[in-house]
Amino acid sequence: MAATRKSFSPNFAIAIAIPVLLLTWFLYQAIEWLIANMPGIWAHEWGLFVTITAVAMAPVWWRVYKAIDKHTLNRQAQIALIRMANETTLSIQNARQSNHNLEVAFNDQMAPKQVRIAPVVEKRTRVDRVVEEAQQEQQELLPVPKTLPTMVRYEEIRPQIPEDHALVGINETGVVTRQRAIKALLWIVGGSGTGKTNSVSMRVEEDYQWGHHFLLIDPHWFKDDSLYNAIKGYSDRFIMPMASEPEDIVQVLDAFLNEFKRRKAGGKWDFPVTIIIDEVGSLVSDKPETEVEEEMIAKIKQVARICGQESRGFEMTGMYISQDAAGLAWLRKRAIMVIAHQLLMMSERLLACNGNAEIARSMDEWPIGRTLIYGIGFKEGQKVYQQPAFAPRQAVVVDAEPQQFFEAPTTPLDYVDDGFPIDEDEPVFEREMVATSLTNTGEIVDSGKWLEKRVPKLPELSKNSSQNAEFGKSGKAKEYKFSDAEKRVLINLYNKFHSIDECLKTMEKGGRYHKDASRILKDAGLL
């Protein structure tokens, strides 16, 4: 046990101070005697000898003092340890005595003597009754805990949303909103039948009310429950036809990127733009088989980087939708707002919940519309909200006058590095893109070459799509052909309707597909 001394102990006076004073006095007397009784030279030599001896003895005296002081400190430490041991022993004895007393008391209570047990039992019962009554009164004073609602209509809570705010969801206290900038990059993930399309349609309605125009990518547009079929009522604001094939998807992505560069370079604009990409998981997770698919994947990720980091100041936002979370960690870390619906697999839940195992397990009991919301824009962390039920507007055929959607840039803009970080696993495409502008036909043209056509009623593939038929010298299509995915849909529909015209009508295909449909059905042995 170490001890620290801030000042000299009394041992210093005994071991050093008093001997030094006595030695000094002795030397003084000896020198006086030498001067008085011996010749001068001998007196000086003896005086020098005595002085040197006294100085040489100083370290000896100091070592003596340190030895005495160390012994004193060790003795004090031993005394402290002995005192501590005695106190510990006394505490153990007291504890043993207390345990013995408790054991004796318990044995006395449990003894088979009714005369002694009866008063004890009666006393405990009365105390228990008083305690139970007090707890019951306290519970009556506490507020009843609120729970999340399971069914709320958007029309009922819409008046509670401020004009410049976006809906987050409904919690135990009511409607929760945030500034509309929270939707700069939105990722909505969830399985089929969990209310994901409802959440997307509601956010599209918000953007529509704010004056947004839309670019839509939906690879599964032909399904009855596709996102395209859910939001066809907003097609009067579609800048380009809906894209489903890689070639068309690249055109839509190029349009968004070029418009962002034009606005960033100082160009003016008349309205905000939202790009909506459905089935993003299947678009980017599959291994690309062609250069076009590789380019498409890289540009989907580039658009996400731009929306999440810079395009908010230029009123350009992105909405990404997927049925799973695998392979989308790059999107989760960039999303300003993540809306996670119920997922089937626990591994998918953990990815969508950013590793929150407790919320992932609770998804087993989630009703339709229950969501977990978090992201860069939510510093308070993850919270669970209920999304209201929403009925999107129905499709209306609009006979609009020709108009320019994007302002034509005055000078061409080359495709340059936009300053955003590129992931090492993402390929980079360095091809020049001429400054482009978008018309209401959805076609991409060079600056100064505006096409004056109306908004198409149905989505059609572009002429440069690999899924189209061959074109003659005049540029008119000889025949439209089905893609491999559409062939399977056609065969399934024919087994249901037994009519090519009904199949083409359901798939929203024109008469130019009739010849290719007949050939496909003949090859399948149905005609």
Instruction: Quickly state the pLDDT bin for 402 (edges 50, 70, 90).
Output: very low
Plot region of 10 (φ>0 → left; ψ -120 to 50 → alpha; else → beta): alpha
120, 490, 497, 509, 518 from 223: Cα distances, Å: 76, 12, 16, 14, 22
Q: Is 300 within 8 Å of 277 (Cβ atoms)?
A: yes
pLDDT of residue 341 exceeding 90, the answer is yes
What's the per-residue H, E or C state across 138-185?
HHHHCCCCCCCCCCCEHHHHHHHCCCCEEEEEEECCEEEEEEHHHHCE
Over residues 11-20, mean pLDDT: 66
Q: Is 327 within 8 Å of 339 (Cβ atoms)?
A: no
User: What pairing do the DSSP bridges indicate for beta strands 165-171 and 174-179?
Assistant: antiparallel
Q: Which residues pair with 436 in a beta bridge?
A: 446
Place of tokens 């501590």: 84
Over residues 269-279, mean pLDDT: 95
Range with the largest mean pLDDT of 11-25, 133-147, 208-222: 208-222
* pLDDT score of 315: 94
Lowest average pLDDT, out of 292-301, 321-330, 353-362, 419-428, goes to 419-428
pLDDT of residue 453 exceeding 70, the answer is no
For residue range 193-248, list pLDDT tens digits in order.
Answer: 999 999 999 999 999 999 999 999 999 998 888 999 999 999 999 999 999 999 99
Task: Tell me the C-alpha distance between 3 and 140, whole Å.
Answer: 60
519 Cβ neighbours under 8 A, 6+ residues apart: none
Range with the largest mean pLDDT of 97-106, 356-365, 411-420, 479-488: 356-365
Over residues 255-282, mean pLDDT: 94
Q: Is 490 within 8 Å of 500 (Cβ atoms)?
A: no
Coil, strand, or helix at residue 1? coil
Of the candidates 515, 513, 511, 518, the one whose C-alpha atom is nearest the C-alpha of residue 494 is 518
Of the candidates 131, 169, 91, the one whose C-alpha atom is nearest the C-alpha of residue 371 is 169
Coil, strand, or helix at residue 445? strand
For residue range 469-504, list pLDDT tens digits in order.
Answer: 333 444 444 457 788 778 878 887 888 788 888 888
Average pLDDT along the chain? 76
Instruction: Quickly state the pLDDT bin for 110 (edges 50, 70, 90).
Output: low
pLDDT of residue 1 exceeding 80, the answer is no
Could you report how far apart the first and last alpha carbons of the chain are, in Å?
102
Over residues 267-294, mean pLDDT: 92
Lowest average pLDDT, out of 94-98, 171-175, 295-299, goes to 94-98
Amino acid at 221: W
* pLDDT score of 39: 61
Instruction: Quickly state the pLDDT bin for 146 (edges 50, 70, 90).
Output: low
Instruction: Quickly state the pLDDT bin for 38 (edges 50, 70, 90).
Output: low
Over residues 183-199, mean pLDDT: 94
For residue range 374-400, list pLDDT tens digits in order.
Answer: 999 898 899 999 999 998 888 654 443
Over residues 138-159, mean pLDDT: 75
Amino acid at 347: S
Task: Tell me the C-alpha distance between 324 and 343, whole Å.
Answer: 7
Handedness of CA 68, 73, 77, 83 (dihedral sign): positive
Lowest average pLDDT, out of 146-150, 309-313, 451-455, goes to 451-455
The two three-digit tokens of residue 82, written as one number: 């002995």
Coil, strand, or helix at residue 261? helix
Task: Tell me the C-alpha distance between 223 and 473, whole Å.
Answer: 35
Over residues 134-140, mean pLDDT: 65
Task: Tell me the C-alpha distance between 34 and 27, whole Å.
Answer: 10
Count the alpha carbons within 13 Å of 397 in the hemisphere toward its beta carbon: 2
110 Cβ neighbours under 8 A, 6+ residues apart: none
pLDDT of residue 141 exceeding 70, the answer is no
* pLDDT score of 242: 93
Instruction: Quickly state the pLDDT bin for 364 (edges 50, 70, 90).
Output: very high
* pLDDT score of 211: 95
The secondary structure element, H or E, covering residue 186 is: strand 185-189
pLDDT of residue 118 exceeding 80, the answer is no
